[in-house]
Amino acid sequence: MTNHWVDIKNADLVLIMGGNAAEAHPCGFKWVIEAKHHNKARLIVVDPRFTRSAAMSDYYAPIRAGSDIAFLGGVINYLLSNDKIQHEYVRHYTNAPFIVGEGYKFDDGIFSGYDETKRAYSNASWAYEMDEKGFAKVDMTMQHPRCVLQVMKQHYARYTPEMVSQITGTPKDKFVEVCRQIAETSAPGKVMTVMYALGWTQHSQGSQIIRTGALMQLLLGNIGLPGGGMNALRGHSNIQGLTDLGLLSTSLTGYMSLAKDSEQDLPTYYKSRATQPLRPNQMSFWQNYPKFFVSQQKAWWGKAATKDNDWAFHYLPKWDKGYDVLQAFELMHQGKVNGYICQGFNPVGSFPNKQKIVESLSKLKFLAIIDPLNTETAEFWKNFGEHNDVKSEDIQTVVFRFPSTCFAEEDGSLTNSGRWLQWHWKGAEPPGEAKGDAEIIAEIFLRMRAMYQKDGGAYPDPIVNLTWPYKIQNSPSAEELAMEFNGKALSDVTDPKDPTKVLAKAGEQLSGFGLLRDDGSTSSGCWIYAGAWTQAGNQMARRDNSDPWGIGQTLNWAWAWPANRRVLYNAASCDPTGKPWNARRRLISWSGDKWGGSDVPDIRPDANPNDEDAVRPFIMTGEGVARLFAPSGMVDGPLPEHYEPFESPLDNNPLHPTNPKAKNNPAGRVFKGDFAQFGKPDKFPYVATSYRLTEHFHYWTKNVRTSAIIQPQQFVEIGEELAKEKGIANGDQVKVSSNRGFIKAVAVVTKRVASLDVGGKRVHTVGLPNHWGFVGVAKPGYLVNTLTPFVGDANTQTPEFKSFTVNIEKA
Ligand SMILES: Nc1nc2c(c(=O)[nH]1)N[C@H]1C(S)=C(S)[C@@H](COP(=O)(O)OP(=O)(O)OC[C@H]3O[C@@H](n4cnc5c(=O)[nH]c(N)nc54)[C@H](O)[C@@H]3O)O[C@H]1N2
Ligand SMILES: Nc1nc2c(c(=O)[nH]1)N[C@H]1C(S)=C(S)[C@@H](COP(=O)(O)OP(=O)(O)OC[C@H]3O[C@@H](n4cnc5c(=O)[nH]c(N)nc54)[C@H](O)[C@@H]3O)O[C@H]1N2
Ligand SMILES: [Mo]
């Protein structure tokens, strides 16, 4: 989230699209209701289904799953062609005036720089035109034919209401009404918030869908303002913490990244990361990358990370390809993986193409499961009839099970969607033999280290030199880990302007990332968490909910990264002279000599907005402003473009009907063997999408009798029109099949799932709730991921769980 849960109450308009907060985030959804009560806010929901969120909305529009870029691109076209943009914001806070180089082209659905054999782009031709001083050229009148605003106008002119309706199936009048309501928030004092989750992320173009939403919000001037922003509703209670701490395969902590194969030394590694300003005076905050990186290395390897060994840069692996879950299982499927440690994960239930997952696990020598519950993954080798039709005697994988605690049986912090780190305390002792996750991992590590110490090996250094400073060696405590993430001074840290001034004494916890150094004098396990556990103690345990400004800014409740700042880019909540766009909802403002207000300023506190070449609010970018056009950072194009899902009911992409190469995302992640497993519209004509129910949490709650009772049986949802066509009545058993397998369930025939006119076809949707499987006390069912395709988003590799094709028949 750029903003936070409580801040949603400040919105004038709430758009829930690509998520179903009333169902999947019912506690957070209360802030939408607060906005309605206290702010007369309106709620718009755009979803293939009339959801529980839609039931609370003021306006609902249906959409075909997998077509959100067409819808949002159409909104952008509406805003640009009806002059409904927030002009001053767009001019000063986005790259709309920046001039794109002459090499940039977009031709029949393909951007310049595409290499078909690699299914990948080179972004060299997407760069800005530069001046002789090495800064990007701008035209503040935004008239230059190659300035970003004009390039965007041209790009989205194709997204007319007719075209949008033809692709999305949203009736034209409904689409235009949504545009009209959204456009009202281009007025400088009005804000819209966008709440999204998996309905946007789980597509082969998920990152670009989210970017299209962000472009819309930037044109409206809705980012950085209270009640505004792009708000990703996170899933598991600590999934935000997982990404913050760098647990994705190519990540390091605090959104730093592992070196690629082509970056074999430290200067090359820093080059594309410690980016320099693209405009005069901009903060370009990633310039500080070496301070964060060296401090992380000191936290991990202590004295073994020295200037002479490039701060143990070579202890880290360099990657040839990402090792996300799709890649990991692809390699396993090819027989290239011996063992898999599966901690808090149930891939047989949750990853796409269950059959491929089970085949992959069957090729392992060993599988280690760390989980408080029994799972489908732990039992993948057992035959459960049609629910898991395997030959146990052919599977040789050894399965180890380590019973772990769950979060309620541990102390620790959880980071919520709003980036708040909230400390929690153990509620109960774990049962039986269960051990905490840290203890299980520590035991594995200590045994491995002893083996490397004894036997050596090709390169034991990263393991034998790892810092392990915990009081109880085989059980690091949550407090110790939290203090390590925050970081401390290893020797006295002094003021660069006055070296006699000591800012932190050796051994002290640091007060924030501003004190981190690249000379080895500081350590910090996760730079964005610096400030969470200072000399003053555990900031995450704070529980003072006073709200002095009355807009939900409780700065003494828990602690938010970065620097306890609650709304990112909050300097954009003011006009270019430093006055709030809306005086009634003030986050920060410029007092004449400094920034201050109800939030921690997200800008240098003394940066005068009235200076020539003033520091602009998007301090992380080299531009100082937000990127409408992305010269770098996205692998599949500088501007979002609609492509069909890899399994689509349409024969072509209506935007590029004669270019088959532009039907699907040209850079979408597909492995060779999986292309063959895609279904064709003649056999699998219906759009399928999978989703959650409030009454269950993934596959865990089928271990709970009460949850099993309130949702007693697996079902699928279809519209009345499709039911009639197929002769299916409410309550009938049906078989839903894709090119990868089938499931059986009870049909719920409902008005809530619409049939839509798409590109001259009538398109029906089959809705698949996720939560059934073959382990637990609930009535056994089929895993929905038996049906889903093995294909991932081009940027994040998130699987395309939300739009694929199936057939349905009476069982
Ligand atoms: N009770 C409960 N709560 C949960 C969970 C749970 O299992 N149970 N899981 C948690 C987790 S891990 C997560 S990640 C979150 C997920 O939270 P959400 O993303 O809100 O949950 P979903 O139900 O998967 O999907 C949301 C909606 O997206 C819609 N949708 C599908 N395809 C499209 C599309 O192409 N476009 C648009 N606009 N909408 C589409 C679906 O119809 C659905 O209503 O929920 C969390 N909360
Ligand atoms: N078709 C389809 N597939 C999907 C999705 C979808 O919408 N549609 N959604 C996707 C999403 S968003 C997600 S997040 C994934 C979820 O995928 P998974 O994370 O694989 O699913 P969960 O069932 O939540 O599995 C988590 C496991 O962690 C265990 N656990 C709980 N607490 C602890 C703990 O403290 N320590 C340990 N070690 N284990 C613990 C639980 O018992 C459970 O078995 O599924 C994805 N798969
Ligand atoms: Mo999730």
Residue 96, pLDDT above cutoff 90 = yes
| CA-closest residue to ligand 2 atom 45 | 350
Instruction: Please report the pLDDT score of residue 767 as a whole number.
Output: 98
Contacts of 626 by beta carbon, 8 Å cutoff, 6+ apart: 93, 94, 95, 214, 218, 223, 569, 618
Instruction: Please report the pLDDT score of residue 674 as a whole number.
Output: 85
Q: Report whether residue 63 contacts ligand 1, using a CB cutoff of 6 Å.
A: yes
Angle subtended at Cα 77 by Cα 71 and Cα 81, rounded to the nearest 5 degrees? 150
Q: What pLDDT band is residue 649 in, cutting at 50, 70 and 90? A: very high
Instruction: Please report the pLDDT score of residue 677 as a whole number.
Output: 87
Model pTM above 0.95: yes
Give the Å distance between the CA of 398 and the centre of ligand 3.
Answer: 28
Ion ligand 3 neighbours (CB, 5 A) are: 235
Q: What pLDDT band is residue 404 in, cutting at 50, 70 and 90? A: very high
Interatomic CA distance for residues 339 and 363, integer angstroms: 9
Give the Å distance between the CA of 76 and the centre of ligand 2.
Answer: 35
**What pLDDT, in 10s, does the model give residues 498-544?**
999 999 999 999 999 999 999 999 999 999 999 999 999 999 999 99
Q: Cite the beta strand spans of 384-497 per DSSP E.
A: 398-403, 412-415, 420-424, 488-489, 493-495
Q: What pLDDT band is residue 675 in, cutting at 50, 70 and 90? A: confident
Which ligand 2 atom sits nearest the alpha carbon of residue 699?
A: 23
Residue 407, pLDDT above cutoff 90 = no
**What pLDDT, in 10s, does the model give residues 247-274?**
999 999 999 999 999 999 999 999 999 9
> Which one has a higher pLDDT value, 738 or 675?
738
Average pLDDT value for residue range 395-416: 96
Residue 38, pLDDT above cutoff 90 = no
Which DSSP state fits 746? E
Interatomic CA distance for residues 170 and 539, integer angstroms: 47
Return the amino acid letter for 136: A
CB-defined site of ligand 2, < 6 Å = 198, 202, 235-236, 343-347, 349-350, 370-373, 375, 404-407, 437, 690, 698-700, 770, 784-785, 788, 801
Instruction: Please report the pLDDT score of residue 787 as a whole number.
Output: 98
Tokens of 518: 């690249």
| CA-closest residue to ligand 2 atom 9 | 350
Residue 257 contacts residue 247 (beta carbons within 8 Å): no
Average pLDDT value for residue range 686-698: 97
Average pLDDT value for residue range 769-780: 96
Contacts of 336 by beta carbon, 8 Å cutoff, 6+ apart: none
Structural domains of the chain ordered from first start: 6-235 (3.40.228.10), 325-463 (3.40.50.740), 660-810 (2.40.40.20)
The chain-wide mean pLDDT, for the chain, equals 97
**What pLDDT, in 10s, does the model give residues 551-570?**
999 999 999 999 999 999 99
Instruction: Please report the pLDDT score of residue 289 as a whole number.
Output: 98
Return the amino acid letter for 364: L
Among the residues of 310-353, which ranges form H helices? Answer: 325-333, 347-350
Average pLDDT value for residue range 96-102: 98
**What pLDDT, in 10s, does the model give residues 777-795?**
999 999 999 999 999 999 9
Give how far Cα 433 sits from Cα of 403, 438, 475, 684, Å: 7, 15, 15, 48
Instruction: Please report the pLDDT score of residue 328 as a whole number.
Output: 96
**What pLDDT, in 10s, does the model give residues 339-384?**
999 999 999 999 999 999 999 999 999 999 999 999 999 999 999 9
CA-based R_g, the chain, Å = 26
Instruction: Please report the pLDDT score of residue 440 as a whole number.
Output: 97
* Residue 177: φ, ψ to 5°: -65, -40
| CA-closest residue to ligand 2 atom 32 | 406
Q: For a pLDDT cut of 90, what percent of the chain falls above it?
A: 97
Instruction: Please report the pLDDT score of residue 673 as a whole number.
Output: 84
Among 448-452, 744-748, 758-762, the range scoring the smallest mean pLDDT is 758-762
Q: For a pLDDT cut of 70, what percent of the chain falls above it?
A: 100
